[in-house]
């Protein structure tokens, strides 16, 4: 599970899934059996070993109270992954969404919205499943008809709405374009521009995007080889 707090990744992983290469990339490694959790530990890329539901919620409370400027990412390694994830979900109102990366001739469909490059996505309607929602949202926001090829990943991010804590789950899919003859940005969603970009072009413009969107693209690159046109 990966959650984005203020666009910074917060990962929940099983302890036995951490490789030596992964652990070497952290700035700080803290064993919560040996050290008491403190806010000052939240700097750079930090790995917490032997995390529990209680210590995970304590970290989340730190993140909710203050914007910690020196923090880049947090990874909570635990033997109780399911319990930790359920505890987190119970802390928020969960909203479900879906979206995707549409491919045409080796190029990806990207949108410019609210001064950032983004991917089409949106909330599920009542009784709707994620795949149906992703297809609908792509057509509504871009005018492009597309068909799902594969699942990419799932992301979570938090925000506050009407004084309520929200945790939005977004399922991401890879799509093949069926028809882009009616392609047009949805003005109601503040989408200013739509276009097809090669893999190398996308890498450049997604510098002005969100960490969560770059995570989706990185996940896509790991599981699919989208060739340049």
pLDDT digits (tens, 9 = 90+) for 183-206: 999 988 899 999 999 988 999 999
Kindly list the domain boundaries of the chain, sorted by start residue: 2-91, 95-223
- Dihedral sign for Cα 14, 210, 162, 96, please: negative
Provide φ and ψ at 83, rounded to 5°: -65, -40
pLDDT over 70, % of the chain:
97
- Give residue 226's pLDDT: 58
CB half-sphere exposure, 119, CA atoms < 13 A: 29
- Give residue 163's pLDDT: 79
Provide φ and ψ at 141, rounded to 5°: -80, -25
Question: Could you tell me where the beta strands, DSSP code E, fall in 79-209?
Answer: 93-104, 107-113, 116-118, 121-123, 145-161, 164-179, 191-197
- pTM over 0.85, yes/no: yes
Category of 162 on φ-ψ map: left (φ > 0), alpha (ψ -120 to 50) or beta: left
Instruction: State how far the Cα of 107 lies from the Cα of 122, in Å rounded to an integer.
Output: 22
Q: For Cα atoms 215, 21, 76, give the angle at the middle one, nearest 5 degrees.
A: 60
How sure is the predictor about 42, in pLDDT bands with cuts at 50, 70 and 90? very high
Helix or strand (DSSP H, E) at 28 = strand 28-31
Rg (CA), the chain: 19
Which CATH class name applies to 95-223?
alpha beta
Could you read off the pLDDT of 9-40 as tens digits, one per residue?
Answer: 999 999 988 888 888 889 999 999 999 999 99
């Amino acid at each position: 599970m990966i959650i984005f707090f203020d666009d910074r990744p917060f990962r929940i992983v099983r302890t036995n899934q951490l490789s030596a290469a992964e652990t070497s990339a952290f700035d700080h490694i803290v064993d919560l059996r040996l050290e008491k959790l403190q806010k000052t530990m939240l700097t750079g890329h930090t790995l917490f070993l032997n995390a529990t539901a209680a210590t995970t919620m304590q970290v989340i409370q730190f993140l909710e109270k203050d914007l910690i400027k020196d923090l880049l990412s947090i990874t909570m390694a635990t033997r109780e992954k399911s319990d930790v994830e359920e505890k987190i979900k119970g802390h928020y109102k969960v909203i479900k969404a879906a979206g995707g990366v549409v491919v045409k001739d080796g190029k990806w469909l990207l949108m410019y919205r609210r001064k950032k490059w983004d991917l089409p996505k949106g909330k599920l309607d009542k009784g709707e499943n994620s795949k149906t929602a992703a297809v609908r949202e792509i057509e509504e926001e871009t005018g492009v008809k597309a068909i799902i090829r594969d699942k990419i990943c799932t992301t979570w991010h938090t925000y506050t709405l009407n004084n309520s804590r929200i945790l939005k789950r977004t399922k991401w899919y890879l799509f093949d374009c069926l028809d882009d003859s009616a392609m047009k940005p949805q003005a109601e969603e503040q989408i200013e521009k739509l276009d097809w970009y090669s893999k190398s072009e996308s890498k450049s413009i997604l510098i002005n995007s969100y960490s969560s969107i770059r995570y989706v693209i990185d996940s896509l690159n790991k599981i699919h080889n989208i060739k340049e046109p």
